[in-house]
Amino acid sequence: MEPIAVVGMSCRFPGANGPDALWKLLYDGTDAITEIPPDRWDVRRWYAPAPEPGKMYTRWGGFLDDADCFDAEFFGISAREANFMDPQQRVVLEVAWEALEDAGLPPAGIGGSNTGVFIGVSNWDYNRLMCRDPATMDAYGSTGTILAITANRLSYLFNLRGPSLAIDTACSSSLVAVHLACQSLRDGESDLAIAGGVNLILAPEVTVILSQGGLMSPDGRCKSFDASANGYVRSEGCGLVILQRLSDALREGRTIHALIRGSATNQDGQTNGLTAPSGSAQQRVIRRALTNAGVSARELSYVEAHGTGTRLGDIIEWRALNAVLVEDGAGDQSCVVGSIKSNIGHAESASGIAGLLKVILALKHETIPPNLHFRQMDAHLRRERAPLFVTTDLRPWTDGGGPRFAGVSSFGIGGTNAHVIVESARPVPRTSAPPPGSHMLPISSATLHGLHALVQRYESFLAEADERLSADIAYTAACGRSHFKHRAVLRGDSLSVAQQYLNGETIDWRALYAGSEYRFVPIPTYVFDRKRYWFDEVEP
């Protein structure tokens, strides 16, 4: 099967707004878990230190800053409608715009195309908040809280004609979304795909329910595969990737962050209980993904595990992964296992995409980040000989003269499993270089405040950029971005150039850069002017 290229990505997770910030969090070994903020709910009202009906025995979670803020005007959405939009819909719109910018794909340029949208989402908290007081309900509340609209609104606003699906398989939703997106691209149903997931925790009821089931960690940490594992901590986030067939990405000169070589999904079927995981089903889904990828288990050097920190689930997952590796003759080779949940918690319907982004970033930076809260292997697993181990330190991850492969697992509480095989991006030789000389780097924003903020981002970015990329940076800014009414331009023979104003005139950028080979490269993302929107602020 043709590999699928990851040509763009963006995210928001606790302590990390964007891929660069996420990598810094992982590299530094940061724990992003905090106490539940007061703008979500009053912890004193809902908390009890021991399990108690109607209470939660945890005070912890992973939360996004300003989850109630949104740049509604930018997307042409009225303030009244924005108030009734689930914040999950809002963050998907903003992160999708950022991911498309990262790919050098202005949304206006893909309007009318067979671009598919595949969004994992399962949380109904905003609907629950709205329904507490029927007097506050509005017609906008229907489209504002239906899960399907999380994907459909993105397709509508960007005028995308490919499949538009909201996928709910609980914890595995976002990785299943990536799998379906890859299938759609390979089948020719989509020519481009936006895939990932979102999860926001806006009300206390689900945490109470999970506490009644004994799934929450009292101290609010996911101790994946550790002897002290005592449950998981809930968290928020949104992550999206832009996917394209490899041949198309190469032809269009896209930056390729990584390759998805193969993927698979399946179901546990009958187990000891509806929520009890199946080790044999996990083995099957991993083997199927490896087969689809044309990769052997012994070629895996890292696996991003589901790794929630529930003892039964971690033991079953470890043994299933070990069985696959040993059966494939990898028993004498080591494979690192980790889980981003140890840093940011369990992002539920966005957890699979969080793990995928961690792997892509680790491949790009040739470094495996440490797994937090791991002190001693669970006693049930210490007795087993396995090629697997958990690292608590940064580890170099070089290619050794060949491609590097990793697996990503995500398992839903109802038994829907997903696994994705990721390959490091292949170096692409340039057949011809852009001409030397002066290049114009246009910067624009919908507001003057946004323009000033974006110029500052460029200044920081250019200070660290490779001088040899100046032509590609200018090309991406000119031909891979939307251009707004507030504009500035940097012009010169190098990256150290002076700011000038462009006065808003229209320029045929592609004609200006025609005749030479340029590449799209990731550059600073658009700055949103975000205001607070919440349903209880609607005027009568």
- Which residue numbers are catalytic? 171, 306, 346
How far apart, in Å, do the first and last CA atoms of the chain sit? 56
Q: Find the DSSP H helices in 465-538.
A: 470-479, 509-512
CA 95 to chain centre: 9
Please, what is the Cα angle at 437 between 431 and 438, to 5 degrees?
Answer: 120
Residues 418 and 172: beta-carbon distance below 8 Å: yes
- CB burial string 406-440: b at 16+ within 10 A, e below: bbbbbbbbebbbbbbbbbbbeeeeeeeebeeeebb
Q: 333 in helix, strand or coil?
A: coil
The pair of three-digit structure tokens given for residue 291, joined into one six-digit string: 């087969």
Count CB neighbours of 455 within 10 A: 16
User: Could you give phi then psi for residue 350, rounded to 5 degrees?
Assistant: -110, 10
CA distance 234 to 171: 11
CA distance 508 to 229: 58
Residues 411 and 277: beta-carbon distance below 8 Å: yes
Please, what is the Cα angle at 474 between 363 and 10, to 5 degrees?
Answer: 40
Count CB neighbours of 387 within 10 A: 18
The pair of three-digit structure tokens given for residue 531, joined into one six-digit string: 């205001």
CA distance 325 to 323: 6
The CA-based dihedral angle spanning residues 150, 236, 365, 301, taken in that order and rounded to the nearest 10 degrees: -90
Residues 296 and 290: beta-carbon distance below 8 Å: yes
Residues 131 and 145: beta-carbon distance below 8 Å: no
Residues 354 and 13: beta-carbon distance below 8 Å: yes
User: Could you give phi then psi for residue 480, rounded to 5 degrees?
Assistant: -115, 15
Strand 60-61, strand 367-368: pairing: unpaired
Alpha-carbon torsion 457, 463, 466, 467, what sign? positive
